[in-house]
Amino acid sequence: MRAACWMGSTSVEVRDVPEPRILNPRDAIVRITSTAICGSDLHLYDGYMPTMEKGDILGHEFMGEVVEVGPGAASTISVGDRVVVPFTISCGACLACTRGLYSLCENSNPNAAMAEKAFGFPTAGIFGYSHLTGGYAGGQAEYARVPFADVGLLKVGPDLSDEQVLFLSDILPTGYMGAEMCDIEPGDIVAVWGAGPVGQFAMASALLLGAERVIAIDRFDYRLEMAAVRTGAEVIDYEHVDVNEALKELTGGRGPDACIDAVGMEAHHGTGAIQAYDRVKQAARLETERPHALRQAITCCRNGGVVSIIGVYGGFADKFPIGSLMNRSLTIRAGQCHVQRYMRPLLEHIEAGRLDPTFVITHRLGLEEAPGAYETFKHKQDGCMKVVLTPGA
């Protein structure tokens, strides 16, 4: 089959690889009909996520049709089912899963010892997202093996298009969880760093959860414009205004009640010296993150407010504003999305027309065009917001 493989830093090739097979009783094999490139794939593409191996199949946002089912999943999943695959691989039976903390599944990461060394305790397996998260082949391919298919797969009917449901695999639940972690109350103003697809969905979700207003912080006009048009967000271009001052002005001097970091480890900073400091340390592996967005989200948050982190980090950050966090009674909430917890309720929102995630799609390409798509997405060329790839197209 054809698959988009990571071949080293900023190198993706679509290659011929063997087709996946059922390895465990609860596996299913899915023929992929739509697959997307995630902003977090760019961390892999740029070589900032450790434990990638040359040849790894990328991709953790995908859906398709079940073509084979192991005996342990056959009571709930059948050949021919149309399914969306959550990016988190979760057993459904461990204590974490039974508490709804699916991205912390205790049984799905065969490289748990590796993850334990990096993080203190291991986290769940994730498709196509380094060997630290299990070394699972990803979904930017024609087929994928899905472990614990009885727990993971979300069945969808024929009435909704691939584009309407594809993002239930990751970015819609991730944005939603980012907003949910803010414990939004009536009158709350929520500021979101990063107006990419996850940031857009975090803003839409914050409004759905009762936020009074949302504010988008980014530097790309087309992304800020999408936030303004699609969610009615007020916008701040951090390259042209002082974010802290602008937020104070927009909130009567209080600061946003909650701040969402939808940027992660490769943030850009408007001030050259600070950008250079983190870039050099990150390149020399003295620091794994460029955490400008997170630092700013903390220092800009209202006293006693919530900082919600859904942008991906991999290791250690410098100049963490712990003084601001501690003295101002801020709450930090964070996590890889517990996707299985949100898929069904969000599908209901889509079916009822309360959420339409298709607005973020700007590029529809064939799987063979993946290498160019990564470049376009990375450099934010051609108004690129979200790339959906179709295998076999």
Partner 1 sequence: MRARSAITVNDRPDAVYSAWRDFECLPRFMDHLESVSVTGHRRSHWVAHGPVGTTVEWDAEITEDVPGERISWRSLEGASVENAGWVHFRPAPGDQGTEVHLELEYSPPGGALGSVVAKLFGEEPNQQVSDDLRRFKQILETGEIARSDGSPLGSRNRNQVHQHDAHPSPDDDQPRTTAGSGPEVRS
Amino acid at 346: L
For residue 360, state whether it binds partner 1 (rule: CB under 8 A): no
Residue 218 bridge partners (DSSP): 237
Residues 6+ apart with CB under 8 A from 193: 199, 217, 218, 259, 260, 261, 262, 263, 267, 293, 294, 296, 297, 311
Token pair of 128 as six digits: 């196509």
- Nearest approach in angstroms of CB 129 to partner 1 is 9
Find residue 387's DSSP bridge partners.
37, 363
Stretch of 30-38, 61-69, 130-138, 384-392 lying at the interface with partner 1 (CB under 8 A): 130-138
Beta carbon of residue 120, minimum distance to partner 1 (angstroms, whole number): 14
Starting at the edge strand that comes first in sequence, how are the strands of the sheet with 2-6 ordered? 12-16, 2-6, 56-57
Does 68 help bind partner 1 (rule: CB under 8 A)? no
| Residue 148 interacting with partner 1 (CB under 8 A) | yes
CB 288 within 8 A of CB 265: yes
Q: How far is the CB of 370 from partner 1 (least distance, A)?
A: 14
Q: Supply the minimum distance, in Å, between the C-beta of residue 89 and partner 1.
A: 8
Does the footprint of partner 1 cover residue 217 (CB under 8 A)? no
Q: How many degrees, rounded to 5, is the angle at CA 226 between CA 62 and CA 342?
A: 40
CB of 197 closer than 8 Å to CB of 167? yes
Q: Please report whether residue 120 would count as binding partner 1 according to CB under 8 A.
A: no
Task: Please report where in the chains the tokens 């748990």 appear, as a residue.
Answer: 112
For partner 1, the binding residue among 47, 50, 72, 270 (CB under 8 A) is 72
In the complex with partner 1, which residue's Cβ is closer, 52 or 355? 52
236 phi-psi bin (left φ>0, alpha ψ -120 to 50, beta other): beta
Q: Does 352 bind partner 1 (CB under 8 A)?
A: no
**Residue 236 found at the interface with partner 1 (CB under 8 A):** no
Which one of 8, 9, 11, 54 is in contact with partner 1 (CB under 8 A)? 54
2, 131, 269, 302: which one binds partner 1 (CB under 8 A):
131
Amino acid at 310: I
Any contact of residue 125 with partner 1 (CB under 8 A)? yes
- State the minimum distance, in angstroms, from the CB of residue 98 to partner 1: 7
Pick from 39, 64, 86, 128: which binds partner 1 (CB under 8 A)? 128
- Show contacts with partner 1 in window 81-100 (CB under 8 A): 91, 93-95, 98
> Using H for helix, E for strand and C for coil, what is the string for 144-168?
EEECCHHHHCEECCCCCCHHHHHHH
DSSP assignment of 260-318 equals EE-S-TB---SSHHHHHHHHHHHHTTS-S-B-HHHHHHHHHSPTT-EEEE-S---S--S
Which amino acid does the sequence have at 87? Answer: F
Q: Least distance to partner 1 from the beta carbon of 92, Å?
A: 8
Q: Does 64 bind partner 1 (CB under 8 A)?
A: no
Nearest partner of 321 among 363, 274, 279, judged by Cα: 274
Binding segment (CB under 8 A) for partner 1, from list 75-83, 144-152, 316-324, 361-369: 144-152
Window 34 to 53, contacts with partner 1 (CB under 8 A): 51, 53
Q: Residue 333 CB, nearest distance to partner 1 (Å)?
A: 22
Query: Does residue 264 belong to the site contacting partner 1 (CB under 8 A)?
Result: no
What's the min distance (Å) between Cβ of 137 and partner 1?
5
**Nearest-angstrom CA–CA distance, 67 and 391:** 15
8 lies in the binding site for partner 1 (CB under 8 A): no
* Interface residues toward partner 1, by CB under 8 A: 3, 5, 17-26, 51, 53-57, 71-72, 91, 93-95, 98, 106-114, 125, 128, 131, 134-138, 145, 147-148
